[in-house]
Amino acid sequence: MSLYSDNRRRFQAILNEKGIAAVIPTNTVKVRNHDCDFRFRPDSDFWYLTGFAEPDSWLVLLPGEDGGKSILFLRDKDPLQETWQGRRLGIDAAPDALDVDEARNVDDLWDTLGELLADHTSLMWRTGNDEGRDRRMLEVVADLRRRARGGVQPPVELLDPAPILHELRLFKTEAEVELMRAAAAITTEAHTAAMATAAPGVNECEIDALIDYTFRRRGSTGQAYNNIVAGGANACILHYVENDAPLVDGELLLIDAGAEMDYYASDVTRTFPVNGRFSDAQRAVYEVVLRSQIAAVNAVAPGVPFLHIHEIALNELVDGLIELGVCQGTRASVIQDKSYSRFFMHKTSHWLGLDVHDCGTYTADGKPRKLEVGMVLTVEPGLYFDPSLDGVEPKYVGIGVRIEDDILVTPDGHENLTAAIPKTVDAVEAACADSALATAR
């Protein structure tokens, strides 16, 4: 039994108990330009439940005897289409390969969905993702209503999958954690290779390509999100993705890049000097962010409110900003007047899993949610001294530092999945100087 059929069984057990039928489609292929498509990436809910990465696939789960029934709709084998577009699993092979009860041709989906959903009064369907699909699904439901006089029971409630499915996804199984460790190991290699390879005159795009090369060479399914390779003041643009400027002697390089492994994400940021040695001002800022990040990571444990991790990081950053002379006042007054927010404008953490900003709620019953064993979150404080800001001492202008790790909540506290990536000033400078880690350019 694969981790995906294990996921599906746990989901189905809940659906069965509540008498809910579910229809979960994967993503559609998106046009990039003219007749070229973006590389396909399966929908995370669908992947979680099937481990199947072909487009035009739908999972239908019906409650019933013996744990209910799973039916996968997929494209059938087609030698001509496969010659042009790639191999297909096909209907005959699907039940064994994916451990589903039944496989059917996706061409028959809309003609048979009504029959399958008849007499299931609770239907789980995620609205809002695709208007065309929503319309067709509502047509199926409307048609079942029209047949009510003939004794058919139509769905009377349409349920969002999130409260059940996304709650399951929030808690990682050991098999999922193994994939996230594998993603972290690949990301470790990419970041250390980048530290050793970056130098004045090298372009951000070369480091970007090196990261992608490392991801793919090591068997990653690709980037968990667009790489951010931001030299100097580009680091002050939080989602900088141009990645096309030459690296400058005396500046820092911020890299936020994480590999996926079987679509499970890692999400890591490191910041290091382009020439391998921090200046005094850079080191002073870096040490503040590092202190904040370590304090926040160390606080991760079961029972700790999610927001507390941010509060700890913020306290340390604010203390540091006061020590650096950038903010004036006390910790309490700077937090109260929000003068820190010119330099730290994002939150510290988000859930991590199949999506980089993973599913799962951050509050429960109107209160901040507490961390529980099996959750994975990032911890990523930063300080950004954008050149457009007034009144910043020149030595700090253009410095942007973020440090981000991926943290699993464990019974004893936490496991830092990305701890092997150099982070202290000494470790970072040593990695920058270690030519053995560099990849030939």
The reply on whether position 237 binds ligand GLY by CB under 6 A is no
CB of 56 to ligand GLY, least distance (A): 30
Instruction: Classify residue 119 as left (phi > 0), alpha (psi -120 to 50) or beta.
Output: left
* Token pair recorded at residue 365: 């019953």
Please say if 310 is a catalytic residue.
no
The number of CA neighbours under 13 Å toward the Cβ of 60 is 23
Residue 243-262 contact track with ligand GLY, rule CB under 6 A, x = bound: -------------x------
Encoded tokens for 435: 């030519």
Q: How far is the CB of 360 from ligand GLY (least distance, A)?
A: 15
Question: Residues for the chain: how many in total?
Answer: 441
Burial call 231-243: b when 16+ CB within 10 Å, e when fewer: bbbbbbeeebeeb
| Least CB distance to Mn ion at residue 87 (A) | 34
Distance, CA of 200 to CA of 350 (rounded, Å): 33
316 is catalytic: no
Q: Find the catalytic residue in 204, 206, 251, 380.
A: 380
Closer CB to ligand GLY, residue 267 or residue 316? 267
Nearer Cβ to Mn ion (117/265): 265
Active site residue 402: yes
Could you confirm whether 267 is annotated as catalytic? yes
Number of residues that bind ligand GLY (CB under 6 A): 7
CA proximity to 277, closest of 94, 60, 77, 431: 431
Active-site residue, 204 included? no
Cα–Cα distance measured from residue 426 to residue 236, given in angstroms and rounded to the nearest whole number: 24
| Of 8 and 191, CB closest to ligand GLY | 191
Does residue 241 bind ligand GLY (CB under 6 A)? no
Binding mask 382-421 for ligand GLY (x = CB under 6 A): ----------------------x-----------------
User: Active site includes 350?
Assistant: yes
Name the 3-class secondary structure at 297: helix
Among 158, 225, 279, 362, binds ligand GLY (CB under 6 A): 225
Long-range contacts of the stretch 217-223 (C-beta < 8 A, 24+)? 218/185, 218/186, 218/189, 218/259, 219/186, 219/261, 220/183, 220/186, 220/259, 220/260, 220/261, 221/260, 221/261, 221/262, 221/263, 222/39, 222/41, 222/259, 222/260, 223/257, 223/258, 223/259, 223/260
**Does the footprint of ligand GLY cover residue 380 (CB under 6 A)?**
yes
Q: Which does 225 bind (CB under 5 to 8 A by kind): Mn ion, ligand GLY, none?
A: ligand GLY
Candidate list 176, 189, 208, 267; residue touching ligand GLY; CB under 6 A? 267
- C-beta of 54 vs 267, nearer to Mn ion: 267
Kindly name the residue from 262, 267, 316, 406 that is annotated as catalytic: 267
The interface partner of residue 429, options being Mn ion, ligand GLY, none and the CB cut-off 5 to 8 Å by kind, is none
* 403: Cβ contacts below 8 Å, ≥ 6 apart: 269, 270, 271, 289, 290, 293, 380, 381, 382, 423
Looking at the Cβ atoms of 91 and 229, the one nearer to ligand GLY is 229
The answer to whether the CB of 68 falls within 8 A of the CB of 15 is: yes
Q: Which residues are catalytic?
A: 35, 239, 256, 267, 346, 350, 357, 380, 384, 402, 404
- Give the binding site for ligand GLY (CB under 6 A): 225, 256, 267, 350, 356, 380, 404
